[in-house]
Amino acid sequence: MMDIRTEHLRTLAAVIDTGTLDAAARALRLTPSAVSQRITALERSAGRVL
């Protein structure tokens, strides 16, 4: 079973909506590094590169 966290999905949605990691970071009030880490964690949980 996948352990997918809601904040990781919200982060992915922000990246899709804004078009870039940097813009998503600004929208979520996170650092670009934090956004990248959340996407990496989501990829690991899903077992797929997104």
Q: How far apart are CA 5 and CA 27, in angstroms?
A: 19
pTM metric for this prediction: 0.89
Residue 3's pLDDT is 83
Q: Which of 49, 40, 37, 44 is nearest to 2 (CA)?
A: 44
Residue 50's pLDDT is 87
Confidence of residue 1 (pLDDT cuts 50, 70, 90): low
The pLDDT tens digits of the residues spanning 2-49 come to 788 999 999 999 999 999 999 999 999 999 999 999 999 999 999 999
Residue 49's pLDDT is 93
Domains of the chain by range and CATH? 6-46 (1.10.10.10)
Q: How far apart are CA 7 and CA 29, in angstroms?
A: 13
Residue 18's pLDDT is 99
The stretches of 1-50 forming alpha helices (DSSP H) are 6-18, 21-28, 32-46
